């Protein structure tokens, strides 16, 4: 299941999550973000129950984007126990993100 994270639910869903979280910062107008949509959806299916996978619209949640210094999109953060433990930027193959997730499990 793919989550939608917002400034309102970020602390509950991401910071206080009992499992690691992959956060995809994106925007609707971003071409590379659109390219990554099927990858993120597949990761959400693959890691269901082990990793929470979700998206943050950086235009609608600019305070979150600023807090995590998101300068370009797509940007991916892996958050575990409330802390950023890994990150990646730009479009990439699914196995690149999967390796990063496997490393925190």
Predicted structure pTM score: 0.97
Identify the active-site residue in 6, 7, 30, 89: 30
Residue 1's pLDDT is: 87
**CB neighbour list of residue 44: distance below 8 Å, 6 or more residues apart:** 1, 2, 53, 54
CATH number for the domain spanning 36: value is 3.40.30.10
Q: Is residue 5 flagged as an active site residue?
A: no
pLDDT tens digits, one per residue of 3-25? 999 999 999 999 999 999 999 99
Identify the active-site residue in 14, 21, 22, 33: 33
Q: Is residue 33 flagged as an active site residue?
A: yes
Residue 39's pLDDT is: 98
How many structural domains compose the chain? 1
Domain coverage including residue 34: 2-104
Reduced 3-state DSSP string for the chain: CEEECCCCCHHHHHHCCCCCEEEEEECCCCHHHHHHHHHHHHHHHHCCCCCEEEEEECCCCHHHHHHCCCCCCCEEEEEECCEEEEEEECCCCHHHHHHHHHHHC
């Amino acid at each position: 299941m793919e989550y939608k994270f917002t400034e309102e639910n970020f602390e509950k869903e991401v910071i206080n999550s009992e499992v690691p979280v992959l956060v995809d910062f994106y925007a609707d107008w971003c071409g590379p973000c659109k390219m990554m949509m099927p990858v993120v959806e597949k990761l959400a299916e693959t890691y269901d129950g082990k990793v929470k996978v979700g998206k943050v619209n950086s235009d609608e949640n600019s305070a979150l984007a600023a807090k995590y210094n998101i300068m370009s999109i797509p940007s991916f953060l892996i958050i575990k126990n409330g802390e950023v433990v890994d990150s990646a930027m730009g479009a990439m193959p699914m196995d690149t993100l999967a390796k990063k997730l496997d490393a925190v499990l």
